[in-house]
Amino acid sequence: MGKSTGFLEYQRVTPSECEALERIKNWNEFSVPMEEEKLREQAARCMDCGTPFCHVGRLLSGMASGCPLHNLIPEWNDMVYKGNWEVALKRLQKNNNFPEFTSRVCPSPCEGACTVGMNSQPVTIRSIEKAIVDKGFEEGWIKPEPPLTRTGKSVAVVGSGPSGLACAAQLNKAGHTVTVYERADRIGGLLTYGIPNMKLDKKKVQRRVDLLEAEGITFVTGTEIGKDISAEELKVKHDAVVLCAGSTKARDLQAEGRELSGIYQAMEFLTLNTKSLLDSELADGEYLSAAGKDVVVIGGGDTGTDCVATSLRHGCKSVVQLEIMPQAPLTRQPNNPWPEFPKVLKVDYGQVEAKAVYQEDPRRYLVSTKRFAGDENGHVKELHTVRLEWVRNEEGRMVPREVPGSEEVIPAQLVLLALGFTGPEETVASQLGLELDERSNIKAEYGVHSTNVEGVFAAGDIRRGQSLVVWAISEGRQAAREVDRYLMGSSNLP
């Protein structure tokens, strides 16, 4: 695939980006498209490796190795190298409903499993994927494709995030009448309100929603299942129900002073910001502003990075990101071999921007928050922290231990908790009598997706817990196939 000697002739080159100090002045995507000849050279680096681990998509050591969607990466790399972009798009769309999303927000487990990456830098899979789908839209190759016939079966999809949209798209292709219910005022779930605009332009989300609507899917916004419509009523109204509402119960931090004002969950901060941006370009002031404030983000993942980048665009006074774990190594360690996902230090866009503004990476590792202190008005003014070290306890497990004398006080008028999620909300599960697993997720076997209640299925984070967008799309597709089989006796969906 690609050029047989390409991985020897060409070095890995990723698309350039707008300068950090300039891009924080707006909310636009900042990746600069690469010239076609350069893209073809990057696609040429895809070697004829025999067994392409990049699209295996399995869990190794608890993390994804290869693409969970089993994207046909060597095939579309080969087509890009040969300049056959339209065929490349067809191969890309065969396994992925929304490459314009995954190419922007996925952490690329495919690249971590790339065979070239064993001894060199992996193929730039994600940027090539983005170039293919963007060209597809620019050239008008991506257009509505409604089904030729309808089955007469009706399916409700609860939640319009990546799993819900993927499930709806596949069921609609099979000819079923699909209605997607979303409690927010816009379709997209996490894609719309959980990811900032500079990371995923919301016009691109709406463009896909418009396509799905043109193909015959009905979207109902501002409607919460279990509240505005009971779960039982929904089940009676439709032949099948697929729950794709995500894992939305945010993990909290139980520390003294948590009740002070100025401490928020990261998703509230990000959601309000994006809604205000879309509604009024932030003119309505209906968001949590970081302007002029010392901001502390607790949590070192992608959501924490998004909070850092959003705070910088507000014009914060300072920003610090706290992480309880140690800094990741710069290179793969012996206990993290290929093709496992590489557990190495990642410098994401938010850290790049913060360093450009403040001349240092905002992250501080091995730090635990002991308590919050407030001012005379009950508003947070500082965090009291302590450094940690990880040691083995009597059972041989690694546990954190405070380092004596390492206490520190960090000023903060805005604290954002980016600590992940503990599971889905219980309302719908309770109303339908659904079984839960030991982590409070809806119990449904992977690949089968049926719950203990006939005609009710579950997919995405509501079933597997907090995970990647690419896993959500994969599960939505799988659930659609099983629903189609349930309704029709068999299925031709992949």
Task: Provide the 10 A C-beta neighbour count for residue 408.
Answer: 13
Sign for the CA dihedral angle at 288, 292, 295, 300 comes to positive
Least-confidence region, from 44-58, 73-87, 263-277, 443-457: 44-58
Local structure of residue 312 (DSSP, 8 states)? H
Q: Where are the domains of the chain?
A: 6-138, 154-249+422-488, 252-419
CA 453 to chain centre: 29
**Nearest Cα to Cα of residue 387 among 296, 325, 330, 308:** 325
Q: Render pLDDT for 358-374 as a digit per residue (tens, 0 to 9).
A: 999 999 999 999 999 99
Average pLDDT over residues 117-138: 96
Give the separation between CA 323 and CA 98, rounded to whole angstroms.
32
pLDDT at 202: 98
The radius of gyration computed from the CA coordinates of the chain, to the nearest angstrom, equals 23
Domains 154-249+422-488 and 252-419 share a fold: yes
Longest dimension (CA), the chain: 71
Please say whether the beta carbons of 97 and 477 come within 8 A: yes
Give the separation between CA 131 and CA 337, rounded to whole angstroms.
30
Q: Judge whether residue 462 has pLDDT over 80.
A: yes
222: tokens are 């501002």
Q: Render pLDDT for 199-236 as a digit per residue (tens, 0 to 9).
A: 999 999 999 999 999 999 999 999 999 999 999 999 99
pLDDT at 47: 87
**Nearest Cα to Cα of residue 349 among 67, 116, 28:** 28
> Distance of CA 291 to CAs 242, 297, 398, 410, Å?
41, 15, 39, 18
Confidence label for 50 from pLDDT (cuts 50, 70 and 90): confident
Give the separation between CA 327 and CA 363, rounded to whole angstroms.
9
- Residue 383, sorted as left (phi over 0), alpha (psi -120 to 50) or beta, turns out to be beta
What are the two backbone dihedrals, phi and then psi, of residue 107, each rounded to the nearest 5 degrees?
-75, 5
Non-local CB neighbours of 72 within 8 Å, separated by 6+ positions: 55, 91, 92, 94, 95
Q: Render pLDDT for 151-163 as a digit per residue (tens, 0 to 9).
A: 999 999 999 999 9
Sign for the CA dihedral angle at 174, 176, 184, 209 comes to positive
Please say whether the beta carbons of 292 and 407 come within 8 A: no
Sign for the CA dihedral angle at 239, 244, 245, 247 comes to positive
With H, G, I as helix, E, B as strand and everything else as coil, classify residue 11.
Answer: coil
Q: Render pLDDT for 330-358 as a digit per residue (tens, 0 to 9).
A: 999 999 999 999 999 999 999 999 999 99
**Nearest Cα to Cα of residue 158 among 483, 489, 436, 408:** 483
Average pLDDT over residues 108-122: 94
Domain 252-419: CATH superfamily, name plus number = FAD/NAD(P)-binding domain (3.50.50.60)
> Distance of CA 241 to CAs 156, 227, 248, Å?
5, 16, 19
Task: Provide the 10 A C-beta neighbour count for residue 389.
Answer: 12
Per-residue b/e over 434-465, b at no fewer than 16 CB within 10 Å?
bebeeebbbbbeeeebbbeeebbbbbbbbbbb
Fold annotation for 154-249+422-488: FAD/NAD(P)-binding domain (3.50.50)
Q: Judge whether residue 145 has pLDDT over 70.
A: yes
Confidence label for 470 from pLDDT (cuts 50, 70 and 90): very high
pLDDT at 1: 62
Q: Judge whether residue 2 has pLDDT over 80.
A: no
Reported in sequence order, the residue ranges of 225-366 that DSSP labels E, i.e. its strands, are 240-243, 249-250, 263-265, 294-298, 318-323, 363-365
Domain 6-138: CATH superfamily, name plus number = Alpha-helical ferredoxin (1.10.1060.10)
